[in-house]
Structure 1
């Protein structure tokens, strides 16, 4: 807040924004709609790619290492792009060049991922081999480009919305809410596409000798993703114009003395308040809890719940599709709950009670994965095929309902995780006089570092206990419980009115 009591647009990593004129609401809607295309791709990553990497020959114990790209690019690419987009003097605008570049890179990445198996076979991989090293290499390159591209898109999109809102705090709040809404739309569409097993029939050329049904479905889903992203991005960038950014004279005179982004980040870490350090600790533990499930949720459905084996029969693929349906339910619940977080904080007596409470719900839900797995194993039935092979049947209705119920229930703590930490970081930075951009950049470290930790250790940890996903889920449940205790006992709690002023609606 400034001295007049009005909310100023957040500074991005120490660079103050110029006073910008307000734009019509339809322009904010157009830019916010890009989130649907971005999140459609993220939903496909979360639901389909971990099983896919195992199908092309990456062992389960190593598949988590591929996911290191997300945390690394989130820690480096997004804040750096945001920092330099503030200073961009292109005639195309400050934000639009980065948004266009990100969308183009998504298209390149989707080509590499979708055609990894085909390119691998054409360059020397054996058709029926269990391990396809060339396909794996092409997939990893595409996967890393995709994560870099998505992180290149998201920061400038949010900054563009703030630019279009000028200094009108109500429009900033509405823009953030619209961005969250379109994220939910993209999630639901992405998970729905991932759960449909015959999507490839609409694009029959996607199925090849090297790319069977599951691979063809993935390829088709990514084609839809790039078509959606290209449509909303082209419309937004064509209809919503930016004026060329011209730095003020005092900014130009100081440009040679400005510290680079990482130096500013280091300085911000040294000056953090006690409240901010506690917030970082709770957030770090919270993401240690979340990331194993986000990484292996559909794999858990295919292996533990459905009893399938990667690359053998259709049972595993049916489980993965059921997991994608569960993620769609999760997104619906998350979107609905996000509309009531402020009311929940008022009713419970403080936002830290809401966050602490849902962390215990997260811990209980991760613990329930063990119960559902044991029930699936104890009630599993088998049949004998005509060739004499004994194969498992899908789980009964009760087990399916229990597994999908876990996905749906987890939508509530996920909504809080996506909104409350960012809002608290904004409040604590206001109290200490720190820049909003720097504070949110520091908070991002508490999100991506745990993801790197889980990506490196979850595969070997699961292998140490005989394989499967439950060991990582149990560790996540313990971390969630500890995070809930720290949130309730140590985290300062701002007034609900103060939270609603800075949160800008739901933040994802």
Structure 2
């Protein structure tokens, strides 16, 4: 074969089903880890730094796993070994997380959990591109969004449902309630089970067949030249200058993270310019430097999109419990009722996202990928900004309708805009590199959100949701700079993706 055959609905279903389990892990992490940290004694100012585990592991793990999986072939295939081992490790971390006896142990387990989820998740994006022809890729990514929504609904609701079933939702000070314990245990089983389904129910094309497919496609653009040493100096100067300013002005120590990131990138460019030996690091950095123009422009969109998401994930529990339930005492019934309601809200936006995965293709067919993404991001911005004006927590469900549309769009339309511009033989590493622009804004959020809240909002966590809403407005404008490849073909692929189960 020189062209990939189209797949049936159920074949695409099986290859994406593992995302249901992966989202169980992410949803439990997003909705409950801040709660666990606060229960173990973390202050509001400490929470962003404790959450730094998530973006740091993604920044390191995803391009490495993508690079390695591009070069892997075993009896399980190319991507599936990473699905399996990542799921087993993540399941173990989910079992241990609610039992952490101290804050530093919980922080360490978050590193392990997020790294393991990333090992399992990153190859799934490349898996879709490997297995599906170009005309069906958007359908595959939309199916992933559907499973993300469904998995997150169930996982986010688990503590609330368990409380309704009579499981204790409060505990002594410093102890995590039983509802959270059992939710994490059930999540571990769901994660491993769903990934095992995909591993056992799918097959992969062998390397020689993928090479034949790649040779039948138009040649990718010529790679850009390796960076020059002079390109490193502005980054090094910016990082060094910022670090000196933080020290001299005695600014918040969290800002050293931003300075360190600038210095690290400058050093990486300097090493790449001077070291000519080929290894994983130099190849990944060269690919980063040579990424396609469409990817560069989408990077800006992703930056503002994920900055908003990270602000929401970190601060919604603290904002809702303080503003809408009137308590910041983690041992109080009001705080824990509010924290459980946040789980319901997170379940709601993921449920709306699952519905949006069906509605968005019709929007794309009418107005195109770019305008659809802009509209969905702005609907999400309205949802986040409404938290500042709504006082009845029940009405926050309406806010989550907008967030759900933005979330579904973020999980699918950027990949539909990007997929055709990537060379097939580097699909894994470029999908990993694309995730840089998911984790970099999260690192920035971890370093500056606490400072911004203290400086602009008197430390009130509701201010983070205002920042998130504005970020989505900016992301929507930036998407207009992105070219729309395959304008006529992409909507047709999306339009036919509706689940028929």
* TM-score band, normalised by shorter chain: 0.7 to 0.9
For residue 130 of structure 1, what is the aligned residue in structure 2? none
Pairwise mapping of residues 2-21 of structure 1 onto structure 2 (< 5 A)?
none
* Aligned pair partner of 2:446 in 444, 455, 459: 455
User: Are 1:230 and 2:249 counterparts?
Assistant: no
Corresponding position of 2:222: none
TM-score (norm 2): 0.75
CA deviation string 1:282-334 (max 9, x = no partner): 22122223321122223322121111123241101111111111112111211
Equivalent residues in 2 for 1:372-391, closer than 5 Å: 372=390, 376=391
Match of 1:127 in 2: none
Counterpart CA distance in 2 for 1:171 and 1:409 is 27
Q: In 2, Cα distance between the equivalents of 1:35 and 1:367? A: 29
Structure 2 counterpart of 1:252:
none
The residue aligned with 1:268 is 287
When residues 229 and 197 of structure 1 are mapped into structure 2, their CA distance, relative to the original with a 3 A threshold, is closer
What does residue range 447-486 of structure 1 map to in structure 2 within 5 Å? Answer: 447-464=438-455, 465-486=457-478
Give the alignment of 1:323-342 within 5 angstroms.
Answer: 323-342=342-361
Task: Check conservation: 1:345, 1:496, Cα contact below 8 A.
Answer: no
Matched, 1:425 2:443: no
Matched length: 434
Larger radius of gyration between Structure 1 and Structure 2: 1
1:187 aligns with 2:149: no
Name the structure 2 match of 1:139.
106
Q: CA–CA distance in 2 between the matches of 1:414 and 1:310?
A: 30
Q: Where in structure 2 are the equivalents of 1:95-244 lying within 5 Å?
A: 95-116=79-100, 120=101, 135-160=102-127, 165=131, 168=133, 175-198=140-163, 212=175, 214-238=176-200, 240=202
Relative to its length, the structure with more helix (as a share) is: 2
2:435 is paired with a residue whose SS is helix
Correspondence for 1:283: 302
1: CA distance between counterparts of 2:12 and 2:47? 39
Show CA shifts across 1:332-372 (max 9, x none). 21111122323213323x32222223333333333222212
Q: Deviations over 1:81-125 (max 9, x none)?
A: 232123234444433432222122113312331211xxx3xxxxx
Q: 1:283 to 1:230 in 2, by over 3 A?
A: closer
Q: 2:394 maps to what in 1?
A: 401
- Residue 68 of structure 1 and its aligned partner are, at CA, apart by 1.4
Counterparts in 2 of 1:312-331, with a 5 A limit? Answer: 312-331=331-350
Once the 2 structures are TM-superposed, how far is the Cα of residue 177 of structure 1 from its aligned partner? 4.2
Moved more, 441-450 or 168-177: 168-177
Distance (Å, rounded) in 2 between the aligned partners of 1:485 and 1:175: 26
Q: Indicate if the aligned counterparts of 1:359 and 1:480 stay in contact, CA closer than 8 A.
A: yes
Give how far 1:453 is off. Answer: 0.4
Matched residue, 2:326: 307
Structure 1: distance between partners of 2:85 and 2:140: 23
- Equivalent residue number for residue 225 of structure 2: none
Q: Match of 2:379?
A: 361
Equivalent residue for 2:62?
Answer: 78
Paired residue for 1:416? Answer: 409
Aligned 8 A contact 1:425 1:443 in 2? no
SS in 1 for 2:152: helix
1:15 corresponds to which residue?
none
CA distance in 1 between counterparts of 2:201 and 2:42 reads: 44
Unaligned runs of 5+ in 1: 9-20, 121-134, 250-256, 377-398
When residues 491 and 245 of structure 1 are mapped into structure 2, their CA distance, relative to the original with a 3 A threshold, is closer
1:369-391 deviation per Cα after TM superposition (whole angstroms, max 9, x unaligned) = 2212xxx3xxxxxxxxxxxxxxx
Give 1:140 deviation, angstroms.
1.3
> Contact (CA 8 Å) 2:142, 2:497: kept in 1 or not?
yes
Structure 2 unpaired stretches of 5+: 212-275
Quick one: distance in 2 between partners of 1:227 and 1:54?
26
Structural RMSD (CA)? 3.6
